[in-house]
Amino acid sequence: MSKKKFIAWMTGAITSLIVAIAFPLLMSAPVTAQTPPPTPQVTTTVTSPSATASLRVYAAVSLLEALTDVENAYNNSTSTPKINFTNSLDSSGILLQNINYAPNETAGIPDVFISAATSQMTSLQTAEKLAAGWPQNIARNRLVLIKPNTPTAPAPTGNAISSFSTLVNSPPTRAGIRGIAIGSPSTVPAGEYARQVLTSTASGCGGGTYNTLLNNPLPNKLIFATNVRNVLSAVETKTLGGNVIDAGIVYATDKQVSTLVTQVGLAAPSTCLTTPIVYPEAVLNRTTNVTAANSFANFVATNTAARNALTNRGFLAP
């Protein structure tokens, strides 16, 4: 055997030996499982006795009542097919985590997604997870400052909490404000909108107080909730995570469903916000019910009955 052939033979033998040793190790190496996201907080169903299709809808929790109204309007319309709906509602950020969870994608869940901001929808669009022709904006909303009808004693002293810029303790004009509840800005669109309002120094906005409120020691500190309805609940019950809550920032539509809170401020969209409060809707390309998903989504986006169901709950036209 020549020297060159011997070297080639040895190289091949060594390579084969390395592969033989490494292959079982590679095959037995543990695969890191995707961490399951938080389960959406609210689940509702809307059914029809003449349904011939079923859909899973993920929607921002601020749409809780309106979504039921819209789905009933769809099944009562001339649109077909009639549908049994299973709805999962939470913050748009938590819903996005669930959409991106591999087992849900394999199972074709959800068929339709309605978020409370463009960022989550843009993420899915960039990842090419939306069906052709989507998203479309179906509604707008407004951001309001609310406080309990009766504060926890002793009540904050000085000038009343009356605007977004009046949330910082500043004796002698104000003292005793404890917690201000907002959604976590990283996953809750209402919380990100609240951050924008409190950061703004424009007239009628938050006076640039966001960082002060964020970094203050308790009392007089921002307390984060996992979705906007938990903010509403925190103001109604005057507590969140063991902290006394004196005010919170929610959508106008959330305030509309509560008799336990008082609205004391309304953020001007054109001056206080850097992004508009819009609700985009999309059919996902994973759906196995393409006809039903598009029929329903088009109804929500274009039908007068759907628009009326949304406006009756306080939402604005897109």
CA 316: distance to chain centroid?
Answer: 18
Q: Hey, what's the torsion of the CAs at 141, 143, 149, 153, to 10 degrees?
A: 150
Both structure tokens of 310: 């949304």
Task: Please state, in angstroms and as integers, the Cα–Cα distance from residue 277 to each residue in 5, 48, 125, 311, following that order.
Answer: 73, 32, 19, 15
Q: Which CATH architecture has domain 54-140+277-313?
A: 3-Layer(aba) Sandwich (3.40)
| pLDDT (tens digit per residue) in 2-52 | 555 545 545 555 555 444 444 444 444 444 578 999 999 999 999 999 999
Parse the chain into domains and list their residue ranges: 54-140+277-313, 143-272
- Measuring CA to CA, which residue among 87, 90, 117, 279 is closest to residue 190? 117
143-272: CATH superfamily: Periplasmic binding protein-like II (3.40.190.10)
Concatenated DSSP letters for 54-80?
EEEEEEEGGGHHHHHHHHHHHHTSS-S
Angle between helices 118-126 and 92-99 (to 10 degrees): 20
Range in 127-131, 167-171, 175-179, 246-250 with the lowest mean pLDDT? 167-171
| pLDDT (tens digit per residue) in 193-227 | 999 999 999 999 999 999 999 998 877 799 999 99
Across the chain, what does the average pLDDT equal? Answer: 91
What pTM does this model have?
0.88
What number of CA atoms fall less than 13 Å from residue 254's CA on the CB side? 30
- Measuring CA to CA, which residue among 132, 80, 81 is closest to residue 284? 132
54-140+277-313 and 143-272 in the same fold: yes
